[in-house]
Amino acid sequence: MLHHIPNQNLLTITIIVAVSENNAIGKNNALLWHLPNDLKFFKNKTWAMPVVYGRKTLNALNNRPLNGRLNMVLTRNNQLEVSGIIVVNDFELAKQKAISLGYRELMVLGGGEIYAQTLPYAHKMYITRVHHVFEDADAFFPAFSEEDWYLTSAFQYFADEKHAYAYTFETWLRKI
């Protein structure tokens, strides 16, 4: 009997994003909404994982790493040095660092430019769809063809006293 031996270099690339109905993700380096359940979802999915994000997202995090995660910043700035953060100037380097440390999944946290660069390599997406249109946004998630992806789960929640907008947690897997 033949046994399939998994490729040790296989790394799942997972995008995690909260995005409005018009693909907005932020304005002035900040989120456009405050959804406590989405923040918990984000923390649960990324905890103890390697995460990669751009310099603008780092700035939005007050130039501090996210606790409990291996933080990597993807930037063209070779001079950038931040305590607790690995700086890479190529997405391939971030992938290789995660593999070399024994991880099987790399989480992409944004922002817009980083999502656009990494979407072609993504295997999975966790999308929190915020059911509202934000006309004044200045950062957007790139459009993707739903024909290339399976929507494997969607759980909708309604606005309430802690959540100004209805939202849906979606999980997407790339078709092979």
For residue 135, CA distances in Å to 39, 87, 101, 127 come to: 23, 33, 41, 20
Q: What is the pLDDT of residues 29-39, one digit of tens each?
A: 999 999 999 99
Q: Which two tokens stand for residue 33?
A: 């909404």
Total Cβ atoms within 10 A of residue 16: 19
Residue-level pLDDT at 154? 98
- Cα–Cα distance, 122 to 106 (Å, whole number): 10
Q: What is the pLDDT of residues 80-111, one digit of tens each?
A: 999 999 999 999 999 999 999 999 999 999 99
In CATH, what number does 12-135+160-174 get? 3.40.430.10
Q: Which two tokens stand for residue 7?
A: 């490729």
Parse the chain into domains and list their residue ranges: 12-135+160-174
List all residues 6 or more positions away from 136 whose beta carbon is below 8 Å from its beta carbon: 27
- Cα–Cα distance, 122 to 155 (Å, whole number): 22
Helix (H, G, I), strand (E, B) or coil at 36: helix
